[in-house]
Amino acid sequence: MAATLTPQMAFRAFRAAPKAAPWARLSAQLPRAQPAFRRFFAAPAQEQPRLRLGSTAPNFKALTTKGEIDFHQFIGDSWAILFSHPADFTPVCTTELGAFAKMKNEFEKRGVKMIGLSANDIGSHGEWIKDINEVSSTDVQFPIIADADRKVAFLYDMIDQQDLDNISEKGIAFTIRSVFIIDPSKKIRLTMMYPASTGRNSAEVLRVIDSLQTGDKKGVTTPIDWQVGDDVIVPPSVSTPDAKKKFGEVREVKPYLRYTKF
């Protein structure tokens, strides 16, 4: 009858065996074995960085309707809005780009550069811009990134999860409506994600920029539905005596809720 090798017998045999040479010496003696060893112990693919508020906006190079750009160089010392669209020649996107184009002067007053993205090629963008200008009676001047391969969309996580789950069936994930407000230091200050069926509120994007720039300049925060000219909030980190020295009149509703004039 053949002997049966039990786990206990195998362990005792292993303990009784001569000690193996150190890995470094063994690797030097068997160089051909190294690639296989590395494959077995290869590090897993690095997870995509989280695009948290305050994190640096990922840089990229891309072809746009205004030529090739380096995104960080494009921003320069300005603020920037990066907003994405699912596709050219789609109804909601057409109304959105027309609305943003009409607000060009307002964004320029605030030192903000606009740049769009749509998951089509440059040739398609050019024809689509003609439609946008006609429908909205405007003149699109800001660049639109050609992202047919979704490279930038994946970099900024502008991808619909349902399409990502079914990518084997659809072939490529769907780019959703996203907004990123980025400051001159290239930090992400705000993100907004919209479903493809819902158009954005361009006035809200402008309002947020006013709030961020006011907060940076004056050291204050802004309440619900705040508009330029409304009272602002003294942050909790500033005492009431210090706030009066800095801002003048302070209206205290609660010890933690204090308003002052903008």
Task: Say if residue 27's pLDDT is above 80.
Answer: no
**Cα–Cα distances in Å, from 49 out to 45, 52, 156?**
12, 9, 9
pTM recorded for the entire structure: 0.77
Confirm if 140 and 115 have CB atoms less than 8 A apart: no
Residue whose pair of structure tokens reads 């954005």 in the numeric block? 200
Side-chain-side CA neighbours of residue 206 (13 Å): 17
Task: Say if residue 116's pLDDT is above 80.
Answer: yes
Task: Say if residue 59's pLDDT is above 50.
Answer: yes
Task: Say if residue 172's pLDDT is above 90.
Answer: no
Mean pLDDT for the stretch of residues 97-117: 96
pLDDT attached to residue 142: 96
Mean pLDDT for the stretch of residues 59-83: 97
pLDDT attached to residue 158: 85
Please give the Cα distance from 202 to 205 (Å, whole number). Answer: 5
pLDDT attached to residue 174: 62
Task: Say if residue 217's pLDDT is above 80.
Answer: yes
The domain that holds 156 is classified in CATH as 3.40.30.10
Question: Is residue 133 one of the residues assigned to a domain?
Answer: yes
Question: Is residue 132 one of the residues assigned to a domain?
Answer: yes
Asked if residue 226 and residue 177 are part of one domain, the reply reads: no
The string of pLDDT tens digits covering residues 138-148 is: 999 999 999 98
Question: Is residue 13 one of the residues assigned to a domain?
Answer: no
As annotated, the active-site residues are 93
Question: Is residue 173 one of the residues assigned to a domain?
Answer: yes
Q: Above pLDDT 70, what percent of the chain? A: 76
Mean pLDDT for the stretch of residues 216-232: 96
Asked if residue 92 and residue 169 are part of one domain, the reply reads: yes
pLDDT attached to residue 81: 97
Confirm if 232 and 226 have CB atoms less than 8 A apart: yes
Q: Which domain holds residue 113?
A: 61-199
Asked if residue 238 and residue 141 are part of one domain, the reply reads: no
Structure tokens at 61: 């190079």
